[in-house]
Chain A
Amino acid sequence: MKKQSSKWYDFSMGFLSDVIVMVHEFIDAALTAVCNDQNIRDALMNRLSDELIRRYQKAIANTQFLLEVESSDAPLTLNHNFNNNLQKR
């Protein structure tokens, strides 16, 4: 199971960081829309960024957890699709 999910790490982390970038850009754009003053915006962003990074890390940690489950556990599933797939072969 380690082998079958060996490439998943890169895929999922790449995907996740894409989304994080989007979220971050959105927050930035939203701040720009709400707040005209460059100085205040920078100050706010500085204040927010610590907590933002902590939350991004939480999402990354969750992904790592999912990957770990996928790569280390015994291949057990109750998903009925497993059976359906097997029938087709």
Chain B
Amino acid sequence: MLRDPPSCLEFSLIQRSRQGNAKSAIKRHAYEDKFGKLVVPFDRATQVTRSMSNDEYVVQEIHNILKSYYKVSRKTFVDNMCRQGVVHFLLQCEESPLALFSPIFVSRLSTTELEELAGEEPGLKRSRIQLNKDRKSLVEAMKILASA
């Protein structure tokens, strides 16, 4: 959980920053007295920290932690989605859909598969064979005629 070892390191930082926050909150009520020193009226100084009960403080604290965690994890998630889900898996990896149709893909196809894909229609093919045959025999006939 959040208070596990790695985050414990952060916790001390958090506390220090809390103090910093409190300090700056008090500082807002400060003004300079005639000797040029910053002073804060006592009732103002206590006002800043006064208003929360124990329960409220704990609730506030937990809410802060969860909210911060949410913010960070949301950013991480969006980043991961974008980088992994979209850019890597759909666009840039070796196995991406865009890389599928490539010279390698084509060269892996067998002759029959190629024939199926890009071959001429059967009817057209048949008539081509037929016409070729006709042409041959006609050429043959011309030769015979020429020699006669």
Interface size grouping (class) on chain A: 35 or more
CB of A43 within 8 A of chain B?
yes
B-side interface residues, number (CB < 8 Å): 43
Tally of contacts, chain A with chain B, CB under 8 A? 119
Neighbouring B residues of A5 by C-beta, 8 Å: 73, 77
Contact A59:B90 (CB < 8 A) given known A15-B81, A70-B73, A77-B72: yes
Interface of B is mostly: helix
Interface of A is mostly: helix
B72 and A79 within 8 A (CB): yes
Within the complex, the shortest CB–CB distance from B54 to chain A, in Å, comes to 18
Q: B16: nearest residue on chain A (CB-CB)?
A: A87
Name A's B-contacting residues (CB within 8 A): 4-5, 8, 12, 15-16, 19-20, 23-24, 26-27, 31, 39-40, 43-44, 47-48, 51-52, 55-56, 58-59, 62-63, 66, 70, 74-79, 81-83, 85-87, 89
